[in-house]
Amino acid sequence: MLIRIEHFRDVHTHASAVIGWQQFYSQLLPGNPDSALLQLSNDRIHIFRERFGQRIVQHGAAPRGKICFAIPMEVPGSLCVQGKNVESSSIFVLHGGQEFVLHLPRYMDILAITLDKQEFARVTQEDYRADDILSMLKRPVISVATPELERAKARILSACEEACCQQDDDGASTASGFLESTVIDALVCLCEHARTGARARHLISGRGFIVERCHMIAMTEPSTPPTVDDLSARLRVSRRTIQNAFLAVTQTKPNAYLKSIRLNQVRASLINTTLSDLNVSRAATDWGFGHFGHFSADYRKLFAELPSQTRRRS
């Protein structure tokens, strides 16, 4: 079992370090995005724990053929997953190939577990509530009683700690079998104790949906960024509704949020390409920044360096 513990000062580098995931992280506010990533992985299970010192938006797709469970370890603010405002006593479920958008508050701490989907279904079939569990797993968010969630967290973290302690000289762990069985059993127990019916308090959030739709529109039309009035007309809601949605979900005004998303895309382009393939001016233009002076100032404010400095480091 591969074990990695890494720290980052760039959210794009962090995102690319998560094994097997195609995803993009965006930093929304100026300041140090200091983050940490713990990974334990073999060909059957991948566990990773992420901690962020910044407000982050995660956008991507789950690995194909897998099922992924995400468990909040600490939620110091509002959390929005797949257009839903959720409680801290929840687990999130993503299926292979499913696109996702997660809005994470500052200092968020989250544990994710990725398993082979068919193998997990086989294990689940052995449970007396198999049909209920498989039906429940179709939901993106599952509410769990707090005591059961805390017990599951403790079991999983204890098994991860034991695996980390039992590393050989090559950094591999001899406790991978114990870790895998413990984690799967803990997840099945969580599904058994999930709240259903009237006890479930996760309702589709209109505000979360609005923010997610605006995010996706901005991503699909990079060179012509939409204004708030454009978004208002396309979503058929008032300008105030959009403003209130962004403030509730992201604690950021819509224009500032969408600009940050585009600046993060420029930064990723500069990091991942060479000067001969893409210069700074072209990267800025591709994401709708027409005034280079304003772009450079906004970029420096968000990332504490000029785009030319990012280019030189890449």
Q: Which helix (H) or strand (E) holds 135?
A: helix 130-136
Boundary of a domain, candidates 175, 199, 223 = 199
Is the confidence at residue 203, as pLDDT, over 50?
Answer: no
Is the confidence at residue 86, as pLDDT, over 60?
Answer: yes
Same domain? 110 vs 87? yes
pLDDT the model gives residue 50: 96
Boundary of a domain, candidates 165, 199, 233 = 199
Q: What is the pLDDT of residues 260-278, one digit of tens each?
A: 999 999 999 998 887 777 8
Selected residue with higher pLDDT from 294 and 167: 294
Q: What is the mean pLDDT of the chain?
A: 87
Same domain? 195 vs 242? no
Q: Is the dihedral of CA 99, 211, 77, 138 positive or negative?
A: negative
pLDDT the model gives residue 165: 85
AA letter at 195: R
Same domain? 184 vs 292? no
Same domain? 173 vs 245? no
Same domain? 136 vs 256? no
pLDDT bin (cut points 50, 70, 90) of residue 197 is: very low
pLDDT the model gives residue 270: 92
Report the C-alpha dihedral over residues 95, 179, 51, 93, rounded to 10 degrees: 20
pTM, full prediction: 0.85
Same domain? 121 vs 182? yes
pLDDT the model gives residue 18: 96
Is the confidence at residue 202, as pLDDT, over 60?
Answer: no
Question: Looking at residue 143, which CATH number applies to its domain?
Answer: 2.60.120.10
Secondary structure (3-state) at 27: strand
Same domain? 58 vs 192? yes
Is the confidence at residue 127, as pLDDT, over 80?
Answer: no
Is the confidence at residue 242, as pLDDT, over 60?
Answer: yes
Same domain? 187 vs 212? no
Task: Kindly state the tokens that stand for 180.
Answer: 């895998």
Question: Looking at residue 294, which CATH number applies to its domain?
Answer: 1.10.10.60
Q: What is the pLDDT of residues 301-312, one digit of tens each?
A: 999 999 999 888
Q: What is the pLDDT of residues 21-74, one digit of tens each?
A: 999 999 998 987 899 999 999 989 999 999 999 999 999 999 999 999 999 998
| Rounded Cα–Cα distance for residues 189 and 193 (Å) | 6
| Rounded Cα–Cα distance for residues 134 and 147 (Å) | 22
| Rounded Cα–Cα distance for residues 234 and 215 (Å) | 13
Boundary of a domain, candidates 181, 199, 217 = 199
Q: How many domains does the chain have?
A: 2
Among 58, 60, 56, CA closest to 108: 56
pLDDT the model gives residue 69: 95
Is the confidence at residue 102, as pLDDT, over 70?
Answer: yes
Is the confidence at residue 243, as pLDDT, over 70?
Answer: yes
Same domain? 172 vs 242? no
Q: Are 202 and 196 in contact (CB under 8 A)?
A: no
Q: What is the pLDDT of residues 170-187, one digit of tens each?
A: 555 566 788 999 999 999
| Rounded Cα–Cα distance for residues 39 and 162 (Å) | 14
Identify the domain containing residue 305 by its residue range: 206-313
Same domain? 81 vs 157? yes
Among 111, 134, 89, CA closest to 45: 111
Same domain? 221 vs 237? yes
Same domain? 16 vs 133? yes
Q: How far is CA 135 from CA 116, 130, 183, 282, 296, in A?
A: 18, 9, 20, 48, 50
For tokens 């996702």, the residue is: 100
